[in-house]
Structure 1
Amino acid sequence: MNKQQQQHTTITIDNSKPVIRFPAHLHHQQAHHPNLSIKRLMNQILHQPIKNWARFIGYLIVTIFFISLLHSPIGRASPVLPSSSSTNELNQVQFDLGFNLNTSHTISYHSSEAVDQYVDIDQRILNAAPVLGFYEQSNGKLSTWMANIPDQTLITSMSIPGTHDAATWNYTQETQELLEPITGKLPPAIAFQCQDRSLFQMLGDGIRFFDLRVGFLPDHQELGFYHASALLSTTATLPDALLGFYKWLDEHPIDNATFGNPPSKGQPSSKRLQIMLYDLLTKTEMARSHWLMEDSKVSTWYIRISSRKDDPHPTNKLGRDPEWRRRRISTIWIPLPPQEFNDNDPNFIITYNQELNSRVYIEDFYNLIPNPTSVHHKLKIKFEAVRNHLDMASSVDNLDTVDQLFITFASGGALRNIPPVTPKLLAIGSGKGRSLRTSINGRIQSLITEQYSQKDIGQADEDVQSKRLGILIFDWYHQLPDLIQLVINQNSFVPPHPSSSSSTPSSPSSSSSSPSDEYDYDQSTS
């Protein structure tokens, strides 16, 4: 026997079994007959005990597991879709407009519904501070502007200021870096941050529409806040944040707030998420006492619902309905299905109630293509879309739209442009001087002042007809101290004059000096 034939590799299978040996090198005869060696090797493998096959399958499972980790690392925030989810189910996700309100009476909450639901509410509100801010911030100069709105004012005839991606105020670069182990590497935080005021501050500033994007937190047990794939906080949950709104509404019984929950490309939804939202807003006495439970009839909703027994629009209709007790899910609020919500469209219509022919007119031209073009061009095409939509909303001559709902997004950007246009850059430019005046928010303020406002801020004139603007949704609104006031002034009342402050940035209508360069934009986050 030659030396080559004496070299072996030994593999012990079982103490009770004989040792099985495989040649370490091919036999001289096998080297000249490769087909023979392959055939013999296959025969040896096929006749191995079941234990070898079990090992092989185990190695295969481990390999697949590691490949899956490379594709989707553990800890990456993403929603859990039920096994039955499909494209059809995702298409059922709604962009819901919910009307959050309170009546004039104090509500007592009973622990019988959920023992720990109302335990230590203040602590839960504090846990949501990364999104809510602090409650003391909510008593701003416009925190009670709805007090002077007539009770029978229709929602569709109002001008309501709102905020886009309202929960992003605290999403700084530092926040993003802290959350990177969960979300992975993302574009710079300034690409996601659309606000610089907390939700409580917004309530005090007069904001009454909140665009909130929700998805599953990393543990998949609670709903939290996102902007696309950017997780905004690991501690602020939607249930806790809503408690903050409920507390504010209890202390401001003459006000209400409106919410939008659009589907997000970064956090797709599912039936499970929708049912969690539904339960959160309808299942407890606390929730039912704060949400208007009417289905797709916004044209008949009043700004404030009375508590009279003969009131035709009870606030907790759904909670008393036997259908709810049978646990059948039904649509509430205004459903705007994603398949009908046109992407990046400057003007589209959704009929949300066929019987009443109730419609909503929407402008959501947010991705300012084509690229690359100048910042001046981006501002021009976005402002044209906003102005055209506001012209439609304010028109009293078109009987087909005069009693319909209008939603106008003043937000947008072009992150792939050269130079990139962030939400902040589009909204306020550098935040000062000529750059601020020629920004989208600055142009909208000038438009309302020159074209729609027929009365000065704080000046009463009962003979002046207000112009309905609908729901007008902003990014970075606070740098223009009169902007929200101007929108509110388009309602049928005169709110108080905003107090002046030397620390507040000057408005575009001021005579402050400005840089000579019209496009002096600063993309810093400060």
Structure 2
Amino acid sequence: MTSLSRTRVPLRVLACALLALLLRPAASEPAVDAVASIDAMTSFLGADLPKLSLNKVLLEGSEVFGICGADTPTSRWMAWYPDRTPIVNMNIPGTHDSMTWNYTAETAARLAPVTNLHGVTVYPWQVYRTQSRSLCDSLNAGIRFFDLRYAADITGTRLVLFHAQALVSEISTLDDVMYGFYAWLETHRTETVIVSLMYEGSTIRGASNNANIQLQLHTILSSPAAKKYILQTRDELGTLGPTRGKIILFKRFTLDKLPADYDASLPGLHMDPARWADNNPDFSITYNTATNATAYIEDLYEPNTPVTANATVNIGAKLNATLAHLAKAARPEYAGSLFVTYSSGERNYAVAAVVPQIMALGNGTEYTPQAGVNQQLLTYLQGVKGKVRLGIVAVDFWDEPAGLVAAILGR
């Protein structure tokens, strides 16, 4: 039995997924397309039970992972680089709150009967949506860093994906999404994917990162499939060769409610959440004290501007923090260190709310004459194309404007 198969998948979940495909408008063609696309993803398994089992899991995960379309010229961009390339020296496009692409008005309304049970206020959908393309579309376009936030569902028995109070799917679990990455890597063996995992608070009244949640996470990340597709080194970031076809875990979580050997058994880069500075434009985390391996991070997600400041002021503040950190990444004294720059942001609670889409793209009016962070970032990147190391650059709405991913890659 292939390591991609699993011992148990809830039949109720599969039934719900299939029913959703069958009952949605103009259902017959999209359902056929979805099944055909998943079938193509798993063609390497042949027509046997393991393939059917994986197809079932991928269908369950498709509300978050998506249905894969065709490859693009950047689907295998890591093949351009030799195995000896240090990962810290690469320019790596990424996304922030990657799973929110499907959190539309329709999704929020459909999930309202569930989220109404959570006992927390869920704000308008525009507050939470930071992407418009699926995880699989993002992979095919060249995105290699993904930011996923998990918590327990209302039953406490499954880990699902949230952005703050917003549940993005009742069907797709974190485990399902991880299998989506495994399947994609199986057919893109030149590539490596960095997956950031963080426990999301404020999802359900009274919820906490308890031992039950931590044990579920450990089980997901230590399964036979996980051990095959997740790079099994710990707090090391070496060259590209050994990471091809693998996931590098970027661990923004702790297993402090479990015995110490649970945490010690998991691979990845430990970005201790206790040391992750909140809303900070420039901080560092030493993730390996023996080698002094350090990550330099910009995560100013809400500019410290007056609540009366308009979108242009907020976009400018976020852009300045982003460009300053990218300039630091290019300095030779930091050449051996990991850099992570989040160009994403919001000012949701300003008098004139700047939701993530406005921060990234502008609002299309005279109040954002230079558009959003993305357009201005593209202009900067085109000016330094091929000249500097950027590190990981995590953006919102990566598909606008066209050419942003290619510009991060230096193409």
Normalising by structure 1, we get a TM-score of 0.62
Per-residue deviation, 1:476: 0.8
Indicate how the Cα distance of structure 1 residues 327 and 192 shifts in structure 2: closer, same or farther if over 3 A, else same: same
Q: Find the partner of 1:132 among 65, 71, 82.
A: 65
Q: Distance in 2 between matches of 1:356 and 1:327?
A: 22
**1-structure distance, mates of 2:77, 2:191:** 8
1:206 corresponding residue in structure 2: 142
Report what 1:281 is aligned to. Answer: 221
Q: CA RMSD in A?
A: 2.5
**2:193 corresponds to 1:257:** yes
Deviations 1:412-457 (A, max 9, x none): 111110110000000011369995843101111111112x215xxx
Question: What residue ranges of structure 1 are gaps of 5+ in the alignment?
Answer: 1-106, 308-312, 316-325, 455-465, 490-494, 496-526
- The residue that corresponds to 2:107 in the other structure is 175
- 1:303 and 2:240 correspond: yes
Determine the C-alpha separation between the residues in 2 that align with 1:484 and 1:381: 22
- Give distance in 2, aligned partners of 1:257 and 1:486: 19
Which residue in 2 is equivalent to 1:394?
330
In structure 2, what is the equivalent of residue 356 of structure 1? Answer: 291
Paired letter, 1:287: A
For the residue of structure 1 that corresponds to 2:284, the secondary structure is: strand
Cα displacement (A) at 1:481? 1.4
CA distance in 2, matches of 1:120, 1:431: 46
What's 2:230 paired with? 291
Superposed CA offset, 1:344-401 (max 9, x none): 00001111111101111010001123312121211111111001100000112x2xx2
Percentage of identical aligned residues = 29
Q: In proportion to residue count, which structure has more helix?
A: 2
C-alpha separation in 1, matches of 2:125 and 2:299: 22
Tell me the number of residue pairs that the alignment of Structure 1 and Structure 2 aligns: 347
Relative to structure 1, the CA distance from residue 437 to residue 141 in structure 2 (aligned partners, 3 Å threshold; closer, same or farther) is: farther
Give the Cα–Cα distance (whole angstroms) in 2 for the partners of residues 329 and 208 of structure 1. Answer: 25
Secondary structure of 1:124's match? helix
**Residue aligned with 1:346, SS:** strand
What does residue 166 of structure 1 align with? 98
TM-score, normalised on structure 2? 0.79
Amino acid at match of 2:156: H
Letter of the 1:445 counterpart: L
Other-structure match for 2:255: none
Query: 1:273-330: CA deviations, max 9, x gaps?
Result: 233222212231x2211010111112xx2223189xxxxx9x9xxxxxxxxxx97541
Q: Please state if 1:415 is matched with 2:348.
A: yes
| 1:150 equivalenced with 2:82 (yes/no) | yes
Matched, 1:377 2:313: yes
Letter matched to residue 359 of structure 2: L
Residues in 2 aligned to 1:251 and 1:442: alpha-carbon distance in whole angstroms: 33
Structure 2, gaps ≥5 residues long: 10-49, 249-259
Distance 2:132 2:4 in 1: 37
The 10-residue stretch of structure 1 (201-210 or 272-281) with the greater mean CA deviation from structure 2:
272-281
Question: How many Å apart are 1:128 and its aligned residue?
Answer: 1.4
- Alignment check: 8 A CA contact 1:140 1:203 kept: no
CA distance in 2, matches of 1:116, 1:376: 51
Q: Structure 1 306/395 Cα, relative in aligned 2: closer, same or farther at 3 Å?
A: closer
Provide the rounded CA distance (Å) in 2 between the counterparts of 1:404 and 1:365.
20
Counterparts of 2:70 and 2:364, CA distance in 1: 24
**Residue 347 of structure 2: SS of its match in structure 1?**
coil
Question: Do 2:218 and 2:262's aligned partners in 1 also have CA atoms closer than 8 Å?
Answer: no
